[in-house]
Every structure is written in C-alpha cells, then in structure tokens.
C-alpha cells in the first residue's frame, strides 16, 4: 500500500469508514461541492427530495456555465430555479457569464488539502492546487450536500515523476497528451494520479490545472499535484493566501506504479479524431488544412493561456481560410485581458469572442462545417461532440491552435519565426466577485421558482426477482455518455426526463427504423425489462447521470459489458440498474440485438458472487452465460431498492 503520498494524507484526514487496501470500499467526508447547470437542476431536485433544509458542507457552489444559449424558455427556467434553490439551501450561486465552474472554483474557492465533489467529470481541475477533487453523478453530489460521506474504491496511486522543464512552444497540454499516449482512456478505473518530482516546481498553477483537468480522460478517480510555494503564490495573487497550506509527499513515498516523464523531452502534440488518447506529434500532422480554431474550455482558458495567444497574435492577422474564436474561462480572465489591452490585440487579429462558458466544448454552437478539420484546446473530441456528425476535431495546446489560426494549417509553433511569449506569474489578480451571490443567512422567506419545464426525478420500483430482459441495443467499445445522452441542442431538455429520454442513443438510430427509446418503451410497456449490451470501457466520458436516469425511465434494468467506467457505474447503481460484466468475453459475440436475456433470482445478488443468465434467440436456441459484478453490499442494497432515492437515510 502506498505510504506518505499527498493522496493518502488527504484520504486519512477525511476518512469515515471502510478499508484502506486498493479496491476496498471506503467512505470519505466531503468539504466542498460544485454543480453546473446541465447536471445541477436534477441534483437540486434530488436534494429537495431528501427533505434537506440546508446543505451540510463547508461550501457548496452552483454554477451556470453550460446551458447559456436561450433558444426557448427552458434554460432560463433552469437558471431561475437554480438561483432560488441555491438561496434556499445555503449554496453560493455563480451567475451566467461569471465563467466555467472549474476555472472559477480554482480562482475563488479551491483550498489545498480539502475534498471537492462536483457533478462534472472535469472537477479534478482543482487537483492543480492540491485538492482531492472528484467528478460524480448529481445524486452523489446531492448526497454530499446532505452530509452523506462519498463512497469510492480505495485507490491505487499512480505516481508521475516529473523532471526537467518544458521547452519553448511546448505546453502543459502536451504533457497530458503525452501521458494519454501511455495510459490511454481505459483500464485505469480505481486509480488516482499524483504528480511529484523536481519538475513540479517549474509548472504554474494554471499549467497544473490543465494537466489535472484532462486527467479525467484516463478514467481515473482524480489527479493531484502537491501544494507548494507556487500554489501559495497563486492563492496570494487571488487574495486568498490565508487558505494555503503546504501539502507534499513524504520523502520516499511509495506509489503503486511510477511513470517517469522528463518535461524537456515533451514536444507539441495533438489528440486526433475521435478519442483523447489517439495521439500524434504536430510534426507528423504538419500541413493538414484547418478550417476552424477555438481556444477555451476549462482546460485552456486561463489568464496565462490567453496572454500567450494575445502575444502570438499582436500585430498579426488570422488566415482568411480559418474561422477563429476564443472563450475566456472566467469573467476575471476576460476583464483582465480587456483592461491590459490583450483582448484588443486578439480582436484586431480577426478572432471572434465567445461567452465565458462551456459552449462549443459541449456542442452548444460553433459546430464545424462538414468534412473540415477543427482544432480545439478542449478536453474531449468524441465523434459528433462538436454538433457535426462525422466531425474531425483535434485537441491541441493554445500555442498550436494559434499557429494554425495564423497559417491556415496544422503547424509546429517551433517553426514560426517569432520569439516564444514569456508570461510571468500574476502577482495580483483582479478580484470582483459581484457575479457570485452568497446565500442569505436566513432563507425562510426564499421562494423556489419552478417553471413548467422543470420536472421531478423519475421513480423506480424495486429490482424484480426475475429479470425478463430483452436486448434493446448492442454496442461496441468506448461507448461514451455523449453516445448515450447527446448534449448540444438537446441539453435544454435535461430537466424534463420524458422529453430527454426520447434521444437516448440517438446517434445509433437508423433512418426508417425504431429508435432506442421506441424499442425500450415497447419492451417496458410489454411488461419486460430492457438490457444494454456493450464491450470495453462502457460509459466513459462525462458525469452526466442522465445516461442512467433516462435508460431507467425507459425500463432498463441491466447493462452488460466487458468493463463499465467508474462514474457511470455509480450512476447506474444510484438509479437501480445492475452494472454487470461478462465473465467470458466471447459471450458478447453470441448475443444479438433480437435476443432475450433472463436472469433468475436477481434479488439474490451477493458480494463477489456471479449471476447466471439464459440467452434465448429468435430461432428457439438458448445458452447460459455467467455474469460478474463489482458491487459492494451497500451497492447491492441500493440496486435491490430500485435506486438511492428509495433507500432510507
């Protein structure tokens, strides 16, 4: 077992119950929570369902940063609900336009050594200042706000030993892309990454936050940097030096695995379509024509990032063949670059200025043209995530993105005839928290506003004794939550489960054939149970619990795959769906979408015990398969009850 690491120290300080061997269930106390509007509405509806008068965390913040396009009343209806329920329950509210939750939380609320649970998979961004910041489904975050400890597997700790320093034109984004080429996006469930070594001190907090942000793509629980003098300087510049504490690994700290990375050997890289771990060097891609460049997202929209962009663009003009846009990560960043003239340089170059929010990263506008290349400084490039089917999105650093904007093609920025911009650490950030509304001390007179588009969490019955299942869909490897529940134009439906459920697995709907929702509803209405069959790394990507809620609403009782990713597995359990895995992977090939799967004695689930199921084919043939699970005793009780909201306490 790892000893003396930063991760272990934080877990020890927040330990509530459970084992301390990797893989064992452990419960930890949560100090802070964050929600964003796409997941937050359901989280607060769930909190209300628990009859909790006021949150029990040290700090909880509700951000509006996803659903800000107001085409129709739905998004603004959500905002009104979120603002008033925050006031009622004792939660800070960050208004639309104040910025992306992870960037703002890093700036204004994050505290080294604390635990943070967020209803967004990129919550680990705040690991950049030494927090144990974990993404989770909205219900888990609601439970944390209610004072319930967070359940997780005690982690294996992967130590990444950094040495050296980044060369000119090489960025923190290249560091995480290099690591993705090593660890990939699968096979890392139950692990936490901790960065250590002499190279850590060469990275600023914004650079560290870029690395921990995209650590979410590994599928790990979170990523953590130590809290050191660089952390202290950042917090002092934010006017919050009083919350700093030093948090370093002990000399000789033990890790379950160590990866060594010399920063001086890192070169500009890109994640190629359509996975964050499909890595190539920029040298290998150089010359490829680019149609669109966007700089922003919670990964690369800091003050430091945009100052580099402004310096590269000063007195220059972007290519006539490129549409170029930037989205600052926060109001603080936007106001600072507007006051110091950097924004004027960016605008003068021909850039379009987008709102300080998630926007294009989740397919909310700025979709690229058909059959064109889009370079983005974002964290995910899953197929269709841009809002364009068959898209070709590459993930790159701001330096590489800006070079492409100037030249019209993927270009190694080291080939540009310009000096590398040297951006000094900020000694004093502009502090203006006017768009963060603190909750009133007395909320007794606050009225929660609920417009007609806001529904309630759907109800689910206890798990039946027999799963009389029909395979509603059979899918392949790396099915993301974007595949299951599309964002983009559908995101405004998240408060209306019956409406949002109509687009489950929409990307797999064939013209002229019934959709997944129609097939699942037909199975449900016939008194049977839906089953989803997948392969490896099912449910990777975002924390969106709607990828469990909507299938549950449509009658799905089980997901069977080779492996199911951490957050999605927890969400399935929270809403009464069994996450099961094939004992024999070859059984996957024997199952067709027209088959039925019967699981007898489903309510006899036991820890570590496998289930037997019978697969029946349309020609009358049948065979048995063995299914395993990784559910704890508490998980089993939740599934048997039909979900967490059905459990007492």
Q: Which of 78, 120, 277, 595 is catalytic?
A: 120
Q: Which of 14, 66, 79, 304 is catalytic?
A: 66
Question: Is-contact 636 571, C-beta < 8 A?
Answer: no
pLDDT > 90: percent of the chain: 91
Residues of the chain with CATH 3.20.19.10: 467-643
Number of neighbours of residue 418 by Cβ within 10 angstroms:
13
- What band does 2 get if pLDDT is binned at 50, 70 and 90? very low
The DSSP code for 162 is E
| Average per-residue pLDDT for the chain | 95
Across the beta sheet with 25-28, the strand order is: 15-18, 25-28, 150-153
Structure token digits, residue 145: 């706000």
Residue 151 bears catalytic tag:
no
Residue 403 has pLDDT above 50, yes or no: yes
Average pLDDT over residues 122-137: 97
- Classified as helix, coil or strand, 545 is coil
Q: Which of 105, 494, 544, 629 is catalytic?
A: 544
Question: Is-contact 339 430, C-beta < 8 A?
Answer: yes
Question: Is-contact 199 263, C-beta < 8 A?
Answer: yes
- Rounded Cα gap, residues 590 and 573, in angstroms: 26
Structure token digits, residue 79: 């905002």
The pLDDT value given to residue 243: 98
As a CATH number, domain 467-643 is: 3.20.19.10
Residues of the chain with CATH 3.30.499.10: 6-265, 284-415
Residue 66 bears catalytic tag:
yes
Q: Which of 380, 494, 519, 524 is catalytic?
A: 380
Please list, residue by residue across 12-32, b when 16 or more beta carbons sit within 10 angstroms of its beta carbon and e when fewer do.
Answer: eebeeebeeeeeebbbbbbbb
Average pLDDT over residues 366-381: 96
The mean-pLDDT minimum among 124-128, 573-577, 643-647 falls in 643-647
- Classified as helix, coil or strand, 347 is helix
What's CA 577's distance to the chain center, in Å?
21
DSSP letters spanning 83-111: HHHHHHHT-EEE-TTSB-HHHHHHHHT--
Q: Which of 31, 37, 65, 468 is catalytic?
A: 65
Distances (CA, A) of 343 to 201, 307, 317, 456: 29, 9, 14, 43
- Rounded Cα gap, residues 368 and 645, in angstroms: 41
Q: What is the pLDDT of residues 287-306, one digit of tens each?
A: 999 999 999 999 999 999 99
Strands 132-135 and 150-153: unpaired
The pLDDT value given to residue 551: 97
Question: Is-contact 567 136, C-beta < 8 A?
Answer: yes
* Architecture in CATH for domain 6-265: 2-Layer Sandwich (3.30)
What are the residues facing 226 on neighbouring strands? none
Average pLDDT over residues 479-499: 90
The pLDDT value given to residue 187: 84
Residue 291 bears catalytic tag:
no
Q: Which helix (H) or strand (E) holds 159?
A: strand 156-163
* Architecture in CATH for domain 284-415: 2-Layer Sandwich (3.30)
Structure token digits, residue 541: 């990507």
Residue 65 bears catalytic tag:
yes
- What band does 3 get if pLDDT is binned at 50, 70 and 90? low
Q: Which of 204, 274, 542, 543 is catalytic?
A: 542
- Rounded Cα gap, residues 485 and 243, in angstroms: 39
Residue 380 bears catalytic tag:
yes
Residue 1 has pLDDT above 50, yes or no: no
- Rounded Cα gap, residues 482 and 504, in angstroms: 10
């Amino acid at each position: 077992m790892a000893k003396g690491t930063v991760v272990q120290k934080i877990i020890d300080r927040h330990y509530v119950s459970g084992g301390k061997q990797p893989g064992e269930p452990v419960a930890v106390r949560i100090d802070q929570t964050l929600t964003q509007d796409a997941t937050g509405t359901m989280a607060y509806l769930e909190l209300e369902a628990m009859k909790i008068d006021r949150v029990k965390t040290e700090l909880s913040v509700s951000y509006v940063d996803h659903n800000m396009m107001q085409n129709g009343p739905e998004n603004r209806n959500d905002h009104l609900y979120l603002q008033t329920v925050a006031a009622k329950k004792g939660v800070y509210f960050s208004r639309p336009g104040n910025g992306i939750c992870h960037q703002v939380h890093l700036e204004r609320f994050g505290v080294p050594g604390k635990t943070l649970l967020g209803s967004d998979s990129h919550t680990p961004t705040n690991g950049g200042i030494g927090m144990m910041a974990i993404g989770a489904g909205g219900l888990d975050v609601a439970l944390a706000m209610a004072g319930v400890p967070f359940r997780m597997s005690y982690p294996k700790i992967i130590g990444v030993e950094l040495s050296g320093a980044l060369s000119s034109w090489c960025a923190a984004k290249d560091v995480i892309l290099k690591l993705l080429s090593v660890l990939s996006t699968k096979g890392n469930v139950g692990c936490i990454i901790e960065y250590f070594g002499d190279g850590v001190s060469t990275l600023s907090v914004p650079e560290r936050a870029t690395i921990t942000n995209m650590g979410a793509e590994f599928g790990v629980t979170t990523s953590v940097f130590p809290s050191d003098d660089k952390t202290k300087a950042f917090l002092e510049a934010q006017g919050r030096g009083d919350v700093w504490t030093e948090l370093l690994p002990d000399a000789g700290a033990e890790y379950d695995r160590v990866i060594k990375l010399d920063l001086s050997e890192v070169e500009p890289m890109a994640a190629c379509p359509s996975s964050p771990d499909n890595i190539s060097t920029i040298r290998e891609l150089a010359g490829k024509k680019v149609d669109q460049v966007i700089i922003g997202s919670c990964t690369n929209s800091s003050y430091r990032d945009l100052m580099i962009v402004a310096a590269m663009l000063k007195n220059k003009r972007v290519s006539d063949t490129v549409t170029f846009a930037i989205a600052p990560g926060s109001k603080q960043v936007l106001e600072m670059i507007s006051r110091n003239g950097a924004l004027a340089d960016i605008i003068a170059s021909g850039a379009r200025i987008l709102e300080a929010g998630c926007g294009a990263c989740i397919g909310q506008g700025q979709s690229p043209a058909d059959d064109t290349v889009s370079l983005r400084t974002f964290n995910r490039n899953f197929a269709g995530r841009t809002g364009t089917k068959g898209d070709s999105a590459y993930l790159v650093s701001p330096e590489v993105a800006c070079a492409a904007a100037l030249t019209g093609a993927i270009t190694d920025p080291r080939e540009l005839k310009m000096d590398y911009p040297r951006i000094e650490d900020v000694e004093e950030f502009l502090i203006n928290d006017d768009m963060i509304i603190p909750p009133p001390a007395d909320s007794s007179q606050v009225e929660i506003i609920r417009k007609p588009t806001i529904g309630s969490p759907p109800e689910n019955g206890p798990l039946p004794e027999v799963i009389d299942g029909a395979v509603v869909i059979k899918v392949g490897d790396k099915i993301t939550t974007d595949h299951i529940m599309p964002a983009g134009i559908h995101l405004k439906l998240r408060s209306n489960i019956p409406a949002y459920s109509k687009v489950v697995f929409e990307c797999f709907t064939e013209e002229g054939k019934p959709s997944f929702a129609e097939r699942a509803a037909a199975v449900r209405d016939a008194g049977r149970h839906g089953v989803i069959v997948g392969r490896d790394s099912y449910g990777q990507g975002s924390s969106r619990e709607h990828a469990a809620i909507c299938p549950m609403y449509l009658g799905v009782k089980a997901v069977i795959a080779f492996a199911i990713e951490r957050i999605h597995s927890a969400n399935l359990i929270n809403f009464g769906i069994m996450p099961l895995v094939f004992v024999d992977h070859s059984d996957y090939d024997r199952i067709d979408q027209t088959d039925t799967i019967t699981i007898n004695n489903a309510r006899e689930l036991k820890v570590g015990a496998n289930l037997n199921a019978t697969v029946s084919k349309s020609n009358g043939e049948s065979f048995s398969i063995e299914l395993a699970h990784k559910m704890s005793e508490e998980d089993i009780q939740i599934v048997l009850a039909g979900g967490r909201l059905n459990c007492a306490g």
